[in-house]
Structure 1
Amino acid sequence: MTQIRATVPDLEQQLTAALGAVGDGSSDFDLNPDVTLPADRKLRPAGVLVAVSTYQEAPQVILTKRSSALKHHPGQIAFAGGKQDAADATVADAALREAWEEIGLPRELPLILGSLPQHETVTGFQVTPVVALIDRPFEIRPEAGEVAEVFSVPLSHLLDPGNYQVQSRRWRGVRRHYFAVPYGPYYIWGATARMLRGLAERMQR
């Protein structure tokens, strides 16, 4: 346990430095340069929480598997988070609120270190990934009807660029390429994988 605690300040420093680096945002269209986006498109702000737990043997990233009964993105792997409501002062507030609603993470528990550049999704959201450390366990409560499972992936796996793949599938009649970073039975792909890859790139600098 002493060794784990000794590494936490180093991790906090490394993540904070990575988040402070200059860099462009990302989008679901990064690997599809032939896509032309309307200049006047309106994007809805959203926030997701990249929650890194530091109370286990090694740092883990907390992720969710969406319910297969949902209309949008059923069964996909995602961060806790969602669109910014009128009552949310910032996208970080939206991420914290959604994390409480979706997985039972107390709002006062995460230590927010900063944010990654915004990510544009095919569904019209401008997502801000908010990175935070979780230094003690909490009672995980998946939101009934929305979250099928809450699980963790070692941060080391997600920070290794060699674990990322470029894959493709047909979407709306067009072949679309995207990033994927599989882990065991979990197929992490699309926007979630792209945002994680952005973090991995920054940590390699």
Structure 2
Amino acid sequence: MPDLRQRLEDALARPGSPSSDFDLNTDVKIPQRDLTPAAVLMGIQAELETVILTKRSARLKHHPGQIAFPGGKQDPTDKSLVAAALREAREEIGLPSGIVDVIGNLPPHQTVTGYRVTPVIALVTGGYDPIPEAGEVSEVFEVPLAHLLNTDNFFIEGRRWQGRRRHYYTVPFGPYYIWGATARILRAFAERMA
């Protein structure tokens, strides 16, 4: 069995297509608009083989209480989308960039809110104590990679949104309801790793 780094490199070398929040809603016409560049860090604890996720603060205006990767829009001072993902992980959860080994990225994901999100895949090679940025993050937790790579753990659910039923992926874990863009990115990752 190849080591985790090799498995990730092999998966990211395979061809893949961009994903979007519209993938399960073929009746919705994807709006043509300029998308804001953003990046998220899918940090995988190398020793534990767990994925680091956050629960967003309930006080946030957008997506309060939702499960997400650390990340956000690319600032003018970020030299690249990878730099944006690393900066956001430092700011949101206190993850030192020095223990992050970037492997590559998945194709971008388009959100209904107008972002083109690049998922940056990385191994976290050392221990650290998460420091949630109180204004943005209420909790930092980890999910076993094996749980997220098992496509049987993903479900399609739906709710009414803008007058119509919108479908989306979920991948629940314990008390955490992982859905929307985060679950869609995880599903694309699981398909790549299969």
When normalised by structure 1's length, the TM-score is 0.92
Distance 1:106 1:84 in 2: 18
Q: CA deviation at 1:87?
A: 0.2
Q: Give the RMSD, CA atoms, in angstroms.
A: 1.0
| 2:50 alignment counterpart | 60
The answer for the alignment partner of 2:166 in structure 1 is 176
The equivalences for 1:90-129 within 5 A come to: 90-129=80-119
The one-letter amino acid of 1:24's match is: S
Identical pairs, percent:
60
Q: Distance in 2 between matches of 1:47 and 1:130?
A: 7
Is the partner of 2:107 in helix, strand or coil? Answer: coil
Q: Which residue of 2 aligns with 1:200?
A: 190
Greater mean deviation of Cα atoms: 138-147 or 177-186:
138-147
Provide the C-alpha distance between the structure 2 equivalents of 1:155 and 1:73, rounded to a whole number of angstroms.
Answer: 24
**Alpha-carbon distance between aligned partners in 2 of 1:36 and 1:139, rounded to the nearest angstrom:** 43
- Aligned counterparts of 2:10 and 2:167: Cα–Cα separation in 1: 30
Specify the alignment match of 2:151 in structure 1: 161
User: What amino acid does structure 1 have at the position aligned with 2:16?
Assistant: G
Q: Residues of 2 paired with 1:50 and 1:158: CA distance?
A: 12
Tell me if 1:188 matches 2:181.
no
1:82 matched to 2:72? The reply is yes
- 1:189, distance to aligned residue in structure 2 (A): 0.3
Question: In structure 2, what is the equivalent of residue 45 of structure 1?
Answer: 37
Q: Tell me what 1:132 maps to.
A: 122
In the alignment, residue 50 of structure 2 is paired with which amino acid? Q
Q: Paired residue for 1:18? A: 11
8 A Cα contact 2:57 2:136, kept in partner: yes
Instruction: In structure 2, give the amino acid aligned to 1:10.
Output: D
Residue 36 in structure 1 maps to residue 26 in structure 2? no
For 1:98, the aligned partner's letter is: E
Instruction: Give structure 1 stretches of 5+ with no counterpart.
Output: 1-6
Deviation by residue 1:35-89 (Cα, 9 ceiling, x = unmatched): 11233x1000001000000233xx0000000011110000000000000000001
Count of paired positions: 194
Amino acid at match of 2:183: A
- Please give the TM-score of this superposition, normalised by the length of structure 2: 0.98
Instruction: Find 1:148's aligned residue among 119, 138, 145.
Output: 138
1:146-165 C-alpha deviation (Å, 9 max, x unpaired): 10000000000000010000
Distance, in Å, in 1 between the alignment partners of 2:97 and 2:5 is 19
